[in-house]
Amino acid sequence: MTISQGSTATLEATRADLHAKLRGIVPEAELDLKAELAYSVNQIKAERGAVILGHNYMEPALFHSVCDFTGDSLELSRVAAQTEADPIIFCGVRFMAETAKILNPERTVLLPARRAGCSLAESISAADVRNLREKYPGAPVVAYINTYADVKAEADICCTSGNAARIVNALDADQIIFLPDEYLAQNVARETGKSIIFPSSGPVTGSTRDSAASDGMHYDVVGWTGRCEVHEKFTVDDILSVRHQFPEVVVLAHPECSPAVVDAADFSGSTSAMSDYIRDSGANQYLLLTECSMGDNIAAEAPEKDMLRLCSVRCPHMNEITLEHVLTALREDREQIEVPEEVRIRARVSIDRMLELS
Ligand code: 13P
Ligand code: SF4
């Protein structure tokens, strides 16, 4: 996680800072406009006593100019649990801003773009979780943080990509339900030495899943077939082709990638774990299989490292958060996140349990 000083720099200093950090990554002409926006955001942020939390996937100019804290989902949840600032501006997607609101019901939490969703969060409903509980009575439900509040409210505990294996290992249960990411569930099951099935009632069914579900055997983990629309696009062929051209390359894959892709990579971890790995490793060339703005953000921080890109893969939801939208959010208190109190109280239990175990 990175904690910034909270900039009250002049416009000139903001412009100079962005040019120094992002030259060669963001077009020069764009940087002047971004610097003006960042300056205005920082002015209003200071006047209002606001805090800005930015996920590692934020676009480089926003990431490097207005965020007080940047990090992965787990790190930002921890910050959200501790901050006393009001309002909290969450530069990420809706489930992340909801988590901040669940932890801070008395504060204003703003998401700078109304439509910033997530294909994983949208793949499962609270009713789906209740159905799974009926089908697998007694199995505790682990909900990935990439779920909406009503799904967290039906779960026993949350997890993120940064602590999923630890949470699964900590549960003293014969069988668990892990949702909604099919690939993360498979990767975690493999890491923890557990067997897994996907019940045919999931949003995607196929012959292998159906036969697995009906073979009468016991499985340790019951998964759900949600997918990240960004990470599911990476393939083993992508890795082989880059390795062929750049034999020294170190490949990093987020655990929302398929197990085959994770297998073919050199390292897999949360967005911050991948960033730390690159910072601490001695290699010079990397391929990062995750949202492509993160490669730009690392390239800006470590210009001596060569970041190869497969940059057709931007998360359309993270992409909704721009400096323009952050400025409007701060000026007009938009988009205020609300969570019904009855849902919030139950969802908070799942998040608190995760934070205690992390
Ligand atoms: P991290 O928790 O690893 O930051 O991941 C969040 C996410 O949405 C990845 O797509
Ligand atoms: Fe959701 Fe995937 Fe975007 Fe992350 S990258 S917010 S998992 S759609």
Q: Does 318 sit in the ligand 2 pocket, CB within 6 Å?
A: yes
pLDDT above 90: residue 200: no
The residue contributing the CA closest to ligand 2 atom 8 is: 118
Pocket test for ligand 1, best of 1, 72, 77 (most atoms within 8 A of CB): 72
The Cα 91–Cα 113 span in angstroms is 9
Q: CA-CA-CA-CA torsion for 100, 130, 118, 193, nearest 10 degrees?
A: 90
pLDDT above 90: residue 158: yes
Confidence of residue 202 (pLDDT cuts 50, 70, 90): very low
Q: What is the pLDDT of residue 203?
A: 40
The Cα 287–Cα 344 span in angstroms is 39
Q: What is the pLDDT of residue 201?
A: 45
pLDDT above 70: residue 329: yes
Q: Residue 292 has which token pair?
A: 């492509």
Q: ∠20-69-107 over CA atoms, to 5°?
A: 140
Q: In ligand 1, which atom is closest to the CA atom of 57?
A: 4
Cα→Cα distances 18→13, 174, 235, 324, 327, Å: 9, 52, 34, 16, 17
The answer to whether 14 and 33 are in contact (CB under 8 A) is no
Looking at domain 121-228, its CATH superfamily turns out to be NadA-like (3.40.50.10800)
Confidence of residue 259 (pLDDT cuts 50, 70, 90): very high
Ligand 1 centroid from CA 73, angstroms: 6
The Cα 23–Cα 138 span in angstroms is 55
Least confident residue range of 123-132, 208-217, 327-336? 208-217
Q: Does 289 sit in the ligand 2 pocket, CB within 6 Å?
A: no
The ligand minimizing its distance to the Cα of 314 is 2
The ligand minimizing its distance to the Cα of 270 is 1
Cα→Cα distances 260→74, 132, 140, Å: 25, 27, 27
Based on the number of CB atoms within 10 Å of its own CB, is 294 exposed (0-12), middle (13-18) or buried (19 or more)? buried
Q: Does 228 sit in the ligand 2 pocket, CB within 6 Å?
A: yes
pLDDT above 70: residue 103: yes
Q: What is the pLDDT of residue 26?
A: 93
Q: Does 290 sit in the ligand 2 pocket, CB within 6 Å?
A: no
The DSSP code sequence of 268-306 is E--HHHHHHHHHH---SEEEEES-HHHHHHHHHH-TTSE
Print the SS3 string covering 159-227.
Answer: ECCCCHHHHHHHCCCCCEEEECEHHHHHHHHHHCCCCEECCCCCCCCCHHHHHHHCCCCCCCEECCCEC
Based on the number of CB atoms within 10 Å of its own CB, is 63 exposed (0-12), middle (13-18) or buried (19 or more)? buried
Ligand 1 centroid from CA 271, angstroms: 6
Q: Is 256 in a helix, a strand, or coil?
A: coil
What does the pLDDT average to over 40-52?
Answer: 97
Instruction: Examine domains 11-118+318-332 and 231-307 and report if their fold is the same.
Output: yes
CATH class of 231-307: alpha beta
pLDDT digits (tens, 9 = 90+) for 4-24: 755 678 999 999 999 999 999
Q: Is 149 in a helix, a strand, or coil?
A: helix
Sequence-distant (6+) residues with CB within 8 A of 57 are 92, 271, 290, 291, 293, 294, 315, 318
Q: What is the pLDDT of residue 215?
A: 62
Q: Does 276 sit in the ligand 2 pocket, CB within 6 Å?
A: no
Give residue limits of the domains in the chain: 11-118+318-332, 121-228, 231-307
What does the pLDDT average to over 300-313?
Answer: 85
Confidence of residue 207 (pLDDT cuts 50, 70, 90): very low
CATH fit for domain 11-118+318-332, picks 3.10.20.740, 3.40.50.10800, 2.170.120.12, 3.10.20.600: 3.40.50.10800
Ligand 2 centroid from CA 216, angstroms: 34
The Cα 108–Cα 14 span in angstroms is 27
The residue contributing the CA closest to ligand 1 atom 6 is: 73
The answer to whether 19 and 28 are in contact (CB under 8 A) is yes
pTM of the model: 0.93
The Cα 112–Cα 171 span in angstroms is 36
* DSSP element (H, E) containing 331: helix 323-332
Q: What is the pLDDT of residue 317?
A: 97
Ligand 1 centroid from CA 237, angstroms: 23
The residue contributing the CA closest to ligand 2 atom 1 is: 118
Ligand 1 centroid from CA 256, angstroms: 8
The answer to whether 298 and 84 are in contact (CB under 8 A) is no
